[in-house]
Amino acid sequence: MVVPGIAPEEIELTVVGRTLQVKADATPEAPSADVRKHVREYAVSRVARRIEFPLPVDADAVTAHGANGILTIRVPKTAAAQPKKISISTAPQIVAE
């Protein structure tokens, strides 16, 4: 997710059931008194995303990393939602007498 100008500390992530919610408000940079500018432009932005996954997620294993305006979130499935390999046993053949 792209979050330019928003520090990782300002981002709120929550997982409710199968839904991941991302909320953040960018705080504008305070102008310094010793710098004289002719033009000032402040881009105050708000980020709000809600992502619903088709399978149950493991809320305790969700991880997030933010750097250089990019937020990377990893949301693993629960163990019950993971594919499970089933082995096939060979049953003894029944012989009719």
pLDDT tens digits, one per residue of 21-43: 999 887 766 666 677 766 655 55
- pLDDT grade for 82, boundaries at 50, 70 and 90: confident
- pLDDT grade for 64, boundaries at 50, 70 and 90: very high
Who's near 89: CB < 8 A, 6+ residues apart? none
All domains of the chain in start order, with CATH: 8-28+41-81 (2.60.40.790)
Let me know if 20 is exposed, middle or buried by CB neighbors in 10 A (0-12, 13-18, 19+): buried
Q: Give percent above pLDDT 90 in the chain.
A: 31
- Averaged pLDDT score across all residues of the chain: 82
